[in-house]
Amino acid sequence: MMSYLFGGGSSSSRDAPKKAIVQLRQQLDMLSKKEKSVEQKIAEQEGLARKFVNTNKTSARAALKRKKMFELELERVQGQIATLEAQSNAIESANLNFETMKVMQSGARAMKNIHGNMNIDKVDATMDEIREQVSLSEEIGEAISRPLGETYDEEDLEDELEALQQEELDSRMLNAGRVPTGKLPETGHVELESEEEDEEEELRKLQREMAA
């Protein structure tokens, strides 16, 4: 029984459910035809009983007896149909369970083959190795992208940039014929702001060039 459930057994054993279902369907078809035939006979005998009920009670009584006989036969046929249908449904359900189990077993074997000798410890070790290599790769990338001869001090660089900015501002003011004496006149306020924005842009450009 276990070998049958788990894919063992002969080919005839594995095909047995399908053959049984086919045979049950054939028998059900024959019984259904028998059922219709008996129902027709019952109707005929009931018709005869109605026909002779007032003219020939003997014939009417005989027709009713035959009707009862056919009704008993109909009950037996219908009982057989119900039994075979229940059996057919049970076999179909069992066969469906069997086929589902085979598919699940196939999937389990596939997963087992995929996993092979894998286990959680090996997976963790592999992930640690990957993280280590990624970290190393990032460090190497950072090292090879760092400019050579980078020895300047950030504070010194800022001081130098501020000095350059002040020189540029003084030069612009002298060229414009103005001497900075504290607060600028209100009429030159807008022009000075525009110049300062230009200077800030030039300063940012210079910073980018020096950082490259």
Sign of CA dihedral 125, 126, 131, 133: positive
Over the stretch 43-59, which tens digit does the pLDDT of each residue have?
999 999 999 888 898 99
3-state secondary structure of 202: helix
Contact assessment for residue 45 and residue 67, using Cβ atoms and an 8 Å cutoff:
yes
Sign of CA dihedral 152, 158, 160, 164: positive
Q: What is the pTM of this model?
A: 0.48
- Of 69, 65, 71, 68, the C-alpha closest to 52 is 65
What is the Cα–Cα distance from 8 to 168, expressed in whole angstroms? 93
Per-residue pLDDT of the chain (212 residues; tens, 9 = 90+): 434 444 445 666 677 878 888 999 999 999 999 999 999 999 999 999 999 888 898 999 999 999 999 999 999 999 999 999 999 999 989 888 988 998 999 999 888 888 887 788 888 888 999 999 999 898 888 888 766 665 556 777 778 878 888 888 888 888 776 555 554 455 445 555 666 677 777 777 766 666 65
What is the Cα–Cα distance from 92 to 24, expressed in whole angstroms? 11
